[in-house]
């Protein structure tokens, strides 16, 4: 009897500790609007493509780059862009981030330094996730930053409530070395949702 009770308690604990599983796209979910604001993504400089079920999106940029060199204004060394994806979320579900991937390019002379940072939030939730990367010249290369999350560690939207995923990305030319020059470009952004029960 005691052995059976112990087994039951162990089984119940294991079930309670099991992480939530990512679910299929629920009926009633949709993305109702996507907006871009900031110096790195002025009107007409972005293109967005989405899957039919609205669970994944890719944004491409034509003017999102920070640069520095003798004679270039300091303001050209810091650009920012906020991407907001407004979503309708059915009762009993919440959104999470499955993966966000940034692709770009750096071209840097010796001593030049650039950086990229992002903050991810859901409207109505107090939690956030962050991502950052730094690059030092000399360099001339493609760059990829990929942030992947499980159902257990992703940030989540409020349960059964309409929300928006907000992605704030900054690119910076950080160099004070005399004569150095270069740039960092954010070329595209891949966004993948995951769906959880709540």
CATH of residue 185: 2.60.120
Q: Does residue 12 form part of some domain?
A: no
pTM over 0.85: yes
pLDDT digits (tens, 9 = 90+) for 137-154: 999 999 999 999 999 999
> How many CB atoms are located within 10 Å of the residue 86 CB?
16
Q: Does residue 8 form part of some domain?
A: no
d(Cα 91, Cα 166) in Å, to the nearest integer? 21
Q: Does residue 90 form part of some domain?
A: yes
Predicted local confidence at residue 20, as pLDDT: 57
Q: Does residue 54 form part of some domain?
A: yes
Q: What is the mean pLDDT of the chain?
A: 89
Q: Does residue 7 form part of some domain?
A: no
pLDDT digits (tens, 9 = 90+) for 80-120: 999 999 999 999 999 999 999 999 999 999 999 999 999 99
Instruction: Residue 78: name the closest of 167, 179, 186 by CA.
Output: 186
What average pLDDT does this structure show over 3-28? 51
d(Cα 132, Cα 59) in Å, to the nearest integer? 19
Predicted local confidence at residue 23, as pLDDT: 78
Cα separation values, 58 from 41, 94, 169, Å: 14, 21, 15
Range of the domain at 161: 23-197
């Amino acid at each position: 009897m005691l052995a059976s009770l112990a087994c039951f308690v162990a089984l119940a604990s294991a079930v309670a500790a099991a992480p939530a599983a990512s679910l299929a796209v629920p009926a009633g979910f949709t993305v109702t609007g996507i907006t871009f604001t900031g110096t790195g993504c002025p009107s007409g400089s972005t293109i967005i493509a989405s899957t039919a079920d609205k669970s994944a999106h890719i944004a491409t940029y034509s003017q999102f780059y920070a640069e520095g060199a003798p004679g270039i204004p300091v303001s050209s060394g810091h650009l920012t862009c906020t991407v907001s994806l407004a979503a309708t979320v059915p009762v009993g579900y919440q959104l999470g981030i499955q993966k966000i991937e940034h692709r770009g390019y750096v071209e840097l002379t010796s001593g030049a330094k650039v950086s990229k940072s992002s903050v991810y939030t859901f409207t109505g939730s107090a939690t956030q996730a962050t991502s950052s990367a730094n690059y030092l010249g000399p360099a001339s290369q493609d760059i990829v930053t990929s942030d992947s999350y499980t159902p257990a560690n992703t940030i989540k939207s409020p349960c059964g409530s309409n929300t928006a995923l907000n992605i704030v990305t900054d690119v910076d030319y950080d160099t004070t070395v005399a004569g150095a020059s270069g740039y960092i470009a954010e070329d595209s952004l891949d966004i993948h949702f995951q769906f959880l029960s709540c």
